[in-house]
Amino acid sequence: MIAGEPGALASGAVVAGVDVGGTNTKVLLATPALDVIDRIDLPTPAHAGGAAIVTAAVGAVTDLLDRHRASLAGVGVGAAGVVDATTGTVLVTGNSFTGWAGYGVTDAVTTALGVPATLDNDVNAFLLGEVATGAVAGECDVLGMTLGTGVGGALVLGGSLFAGPRGAAGEIGHVPGFGDALCTCGQVGHLETIAGARGIADRFAERSGRRLSAREVADAARAGDPDASAVFDTAGWGLARAALLTAGILDVTTVVIGGGIARSWDLLEPAITAAIAAEPPVSGAPIRLAQSTLGSDAVALGAAAQVRDLVLGEAATV
């Protein structure tokens, strides 16, 4: 039997998920039910070109397969930047990468390993992971937000990713109306300017005259610093507004939040809850905000779920 045929997983094959970041690549093996078997973290050769990035990831997949004497049914990849999921090609990346934009990821993976492969944006993969087996498992309509250096967003509607006609659906981090600070994209007042790590550091510096990292601002808030607390209150208010906008426009009232800043949930959640209580959705439906439960596995598990569903379809979880 050829790995990747619908019957392959029934005979004990596994799926692999790959999360390609600018600094590290996470590779994991999972069962069809998305139970993690094992994982490897390795440095991303981000400036060595697309072939080197894929070769490093493929090598980690092979090492895991050899370690567990497993057969492989497919590989899902989540990558930062803009991707064409249909062709499995990276379109646009930040300056963390060299030679990654324009690279045909899925063709290279399939050629190397002989199995089907998928590619999606890392925020889409994050949301797929949380819907498949994480904080919002089984939900059909969800907004996903990742709070890293910036703010990423993705939507699942009716149980499927919704990218929109130009691939920009769910990009809540670049919706205006959140102040007058300049965003990294060149526009003004986007959610990212108050709820991403860079924005939190910048807003604290404006208030206090001191330059700290977002993590240090969180530590200061917990220690009682009023400027740091105010910055996180503003971030929480912004996240609540994003949830309320989504509820009002799409009637989506479930939101899952991940990324490094979400680890400061103790600072964000009170402000989020207060803002939503002050202006609840007109539908009267309660908004559910959930913190990611998959942590650093979310993107790789979501990518694994995507290729699992490609290989097995509705039989994937049987």
pLDDT in tens, 205-233: 999 999 999 999 999 999 999 999 999 99
Q: What number of other Cβ atoms are within 10 A of residue 197's Cβ? A: 21
Q: What number of other Cβ atoms are within 10 A of residue 211's Cβ? A: 11
Q: Which pLDDT score, from 0 to 100, does residue 3 have?
A: 35
| Averaged pLDDT, groups of 10, the chain, 318 residues long | 37 89 95 96 96 98 95 95 91 90 96 97 96 96 95 95 87 93 92 96 97 98 98 97 95 96 96 94 90 95 96 60
Residue 289 near residue 262, CB atoms below 8 Å: no
Q: Which pLDDT score, from 0 to 100, does residue 4 have?
A: 35
Give 188's DSSP letter: B
Q: How far is CA 299 from CA 17, 71, 123, 190, in A?
A: 8, 22, 7, 24
Residue with tokens 């009002």: 248
